[in-house]
Chain A
Amino acid sequence: MEKMKLKMLYADLKSDIDVIEKELEIAVGSSSHFLNEASLHLLKAGGKRIRPVFVLLAAKFGQYDIQNIKHVAVPLELIHMGSLVHDDVIDNSEMRRGRPTVKAQFNNRIAMYDGDFIFAKALEHMTYVQDVEAHHVLSKTMVEICIGEIIQIEDKRALDQNLRDYFRRIKRKTAILISSSCRLGAIAAGVDQRTAWHLERFGYYVGMSFQIIDDILDFTSTDQKLGKPAGSDLLQGNVTLPALYAKEEPQIRPLMQKAIDGSMTEVERKEMLRMMRKSEAIRRAQHVSDLYLNKALKEIEALPDHKAKKSLKDIALYMGKRKF
């Protein structure tokens, strides 16, 4: 339902999104049956395609030609897909988007090769873009995302970390890819430097807001809506913004410590969620997300007049206020 709402927000882009969908399917075609099956399986499971949407909307501020723009939109989505395949190995996840993960369907090694294959196809597709700056942006993005994930593992199960640690982690984990999507869309359409800069900043702020909401929903949403137990982030040792605020509350902290140590019972999990939901931590995290969202909206104001501004605003507001 929520995904449908999002899709309605970018209904104007539907025909171009369809072009990208077709390109994605062609791009992951392989002579290996397993890779073919694994990649197509992942592709058919769908997704919000939010990165290509930001590419397309950013490109609207320049010379918009879907036949050029698709060459940056497709690689960005493929890189996101390849990361998910490898993340499922790291997290030992059996299900994603309601389907078995590649590692569950085959094994970890096939998942590694599938991810490598998808990354290679992403970069191969990207070579249709001659502007070397685009390659600098994308390669730097890939490196930063990995460093973010390494930091996440370094910080795992450490309750006594500070807000700075969290922000530098989510910047690399999420915000950079959205920010780069905007920047690459701008490059592909020859958008002027100043506008491109505002678009990139917009993507960064939206990405930060989006990730904080994601981290809040992990505590406030239901197991059913999340498709995994609520509180999973903490149970896996990932200390997110609501948790960083909640640890200051003496009645919640011992339960959080249990979640991190892996010694939490189901009754305690439910109790922790109940306490979290009525705590100040959620409200404070929401406030920080709103600050980022407002910064994103300010960046939109600085963009030249174009109807894409409204779409960017609607999507930003949706992402910053979503309930799933």
Chain B
Amino acid sequence: MIATTIKQKVAQFKQNIFTKLHHRTLLEYTGQPVVSDDEIMYLLLPFLNGEKSNDSTLLAAEAIAMNMAALNTHDLIEEHDATSKSQQLTVLAGDLYSGMYYATLAQVGDVLLIRSITEAVATISEEKTKFYETSHVQLQDALHALEVIETESIQKFFEHFAFEQYSVFARYGLLIQRLAKELDSCKTDEQTRFISAFNEDGLEAKLRNELQTLATTYEKVVSTSPLLHDDVKNCIVSRIQTHVNN
């Protein structure tokens, strides 16, 4: 599968999720559901790499994407003022997407999968909250928390369908994506909760350094992987470079 085809498949899957989550008013006030190309790419990685899929696995993957959209949407709520119509509807958009992921999992009919994913959501919510519980966190602890926040649902999905060998890619890839985003915020003095939790000087340099180290290690993991096909490797490497060079 060439890189363009991978991009097309990701775009097609994303469009399908947008269609299923479509709501006229939400689209007008909150925009499309928030789910990134990287999140979709890593979610679909086993299938993009040639693993067999069926109606159930694909439907389950759709549910995971909806779940990611739900949780990402609630991250957009302002800490102290959510009184505008768009913020009120953002709360409800996240709730609606939550209902939709559950309805989709119910359609799959696999109760154990529902349990796995809901456990992931509880864990993610806990990890997000922990950023508010201490005034100062250590970088390595924070990175671990971010990894959980970004990948827990996908990892549970992989475990359930015996695709665990792909977990390592999602862990590195989505952590790099998140760190690149935090670095951008740092550069523009935008206070995210992650940045506020450090409360120290020189964070931008530390983040840049961490991002570079992770990217180098990850490129090595990808290029030496006997599991991934070359076109998938190229696609991943290209995504890493986009994040590091931005």
List the interface of chain A (C-beta within 8 A of B).
30-35, 83, 86, 89-90, 92, 106-110, 112-117, 119-121, 123-124, 126-127, 129-130, 132, 135-136, 138-140, 142-143, 145-147, 149-150, 153-154
Contact = CB atoms under 8 A, between A and B. Distances in A.
B122 A117 contact: yes
A116 B71 contact: yes
Contact of A139 (B81, B99, B130): B99
Given A113-B128, A139-B105, 5 more contacts: A90-B91, A124-B115, A142-B95, A147-B96, A150-B25
Nearest to A90: B88
Interface of A is mostly: helix
B126 A117 contact: yes
Contacts of A90: 82, 88, 91-92
B100 A143 contact: yes
A153 B92 contact: yes
A91 to B, nearest CB: 9
Contacts of B75: 109, 112
Given A92-B83, A143-B103, A154-B25, A135 B114 contact: yes
In this complex, which of A33, A113, A136, A143 has the most chain B Cβ atoms within 10 angstroms of its Cβ?
A113
B130 A32 contact: yes
A106 B77 CA distance: 14
B95 A135 contact: no
Contact of A107 (B80, B89, B98): B80
Contact of A113 (B99, B118, B125): B125
B102 interface: yes
A94 B193 CA distance: 23
B74 interface: yes
B133 A34 contact: yes
20 contacts: A32-B126, A32-B129, A34-B129, A35-B126, A89-B82, A107-B79, A113-B125, A116-B94, A116-B121, A117-B125, A117-B129, A119-B98, A120-B119, A120-B125, A123-B102, A124-B119, A129-B111, A132-B111, A142-B95, A150-B92
A139 B129 contact: no
A318 B98 CA distance: 34
A113 B92 contact: no
B85 interface: yes
B136 to A, nearest CB: 16
A35 B121 CA distance: 13
B59 to A, nearest CB: 13
A107 B88 CA distance: 15
Given A90-B92, A135-B111, A124 B98 contact: no
Contacts of A35: 125-126, 129
In this complex, which of A83, A114, A126 has the most chain B Cβ atoms within 10 angstroms of its Cβ?
A126
Nearest to B107: A136
